[in-house]
Copies of this chain bind each other. A is one copy, B any other.
């Protein structure tokens, strides 16, 4: 093994923070390290908005659906798809940008936002901080856009909390679906996926029960609670009002 993989294997979402500060020097290094993550065509179509103001963090917690795990963080970093930057770049060479009006533009923007999110968390965890990815900001993207002053052709897709974990309430590393049903060799194996879901339901049930959390839903029950409805119903509308479209050429 090595320190990187050891850190990755220990990764869990930290939802209770101690209130200890995030060091300014660490924060700068986290941002710089994350910025070396790859972006499609080196377009760097991502911006971050770093929130340290406690009132703003409390407002983000509200927007994300009233999440105390957000309100308790020392730092919140919003990962923003940023085709405003590239529009400026194209303008400087006399070209007109059309990519934001395409499905490709949206999909690659979201992919790069995910890459950046993981890089931020990996760097933050390397300095001993805890993090949780927060998709809840898509509950009301327009409110985030106003709060952070985001221009057209940008979109606040996801964020992460950063803080010092409260060790007393640190969660155990959560098991995942069996590796053989997640990583397919050469071709997708639908039968393995079906079996994997059933096996994971049993494993996750045992894992919750071991911690005395017998009321927690199984994997199938919990995904059903979310995916049988569109739980964030303003994403398309907000993207459209920011100048994004989802179409081919």
Show the binding face of A for B, using Cβ within 8 Å: 1-5, 7-11, 13, 28-38, 40-44, 46-53, 56, 80, 82-86, 88-90, 92-93, 95-99, 101-108, 110-119, 121-123, 125-127, 132-133, 135, 138, 148-151, 154, 157-158, 173-174, 176-177, 179, 181-188, 190, 193-194, 196-198, 201, 218-224, 226-237, 239, 246-249
New A-B pairs, 12, CB < 8 Å, besides A5-B123, A95-B227:
A41-B223, A44-B182, A47-B188, A47-B193, A88-B197, A90-B223, A98-B230, A102-B230, A104-B138, A113-B114, A148-B184, A151-B190
A122 near B118: Cβ-Cβ < 8 Å? yes
A8 near B122: Cβ-Cβ < 8 Å? yes
Complex interface: chain B residues within 8 A of A138 (CB)? 104, 107-108
25 A-B residue pairings within 8 Å (CB atoms)? A3-B126, A4-B4, A4-B125, A8-B33, A41-B223, A48-B183, A49-B183, A49-B187, A56-B186, A80-B188, A85-B177, A86-B223, A88-B193, A89-B220, A92-B198, A92-B201, A95-B228, A96-B228, A99-B229, A99-B230, A110-B110, A114-B115, A148-B184, A151-B190, A236-B246
Complex interface: chain B residues within 8 A of A183 (CB)? 31, 35, 47-50
Complex interface: chain B residues within 8 A of A158 (CB)? 111
Q: Is the interface of A mostly helix, strand, loop or mixed?
A: helix
A227 near B97: Cβ-Cβ < 8 Å? yes
B85 near A126: Cβ-Cβ < 8 Å? no
Known: A4-B3, A89-B220, A93-B221. A246 touches B248 (CB 8 A): no
A186 near B114: Cβ-Cβ < 8 Å? no
- Counting from the closest, the 5 A-B pairs by CB-CB distance are A114-B114, A4-B126, A110-B110, A233-B249, A103-B236
Complex interface: chain B residues within 8 A of A90 (CB)? 220, 223-224, 227-228
How close is A227's CB to chain B, nearest CB, in angstroms?
4
Chain B residue with the shortest CB-CB distance to A193: B85
B84 near A193: Cβ-Cβ < 8 Å? yes
Complex interface: chain B residues within 8 A of A226 (CB)? 41, 43, 99
Which of B49, B82, B111, B181 meets A157, CB within 8 Å? B111
Which of B52, B93, B148, B219 meets A224, CB within 8 Å? B93
Report how far A187 CA is from B144 CA in the complex, Å.
11
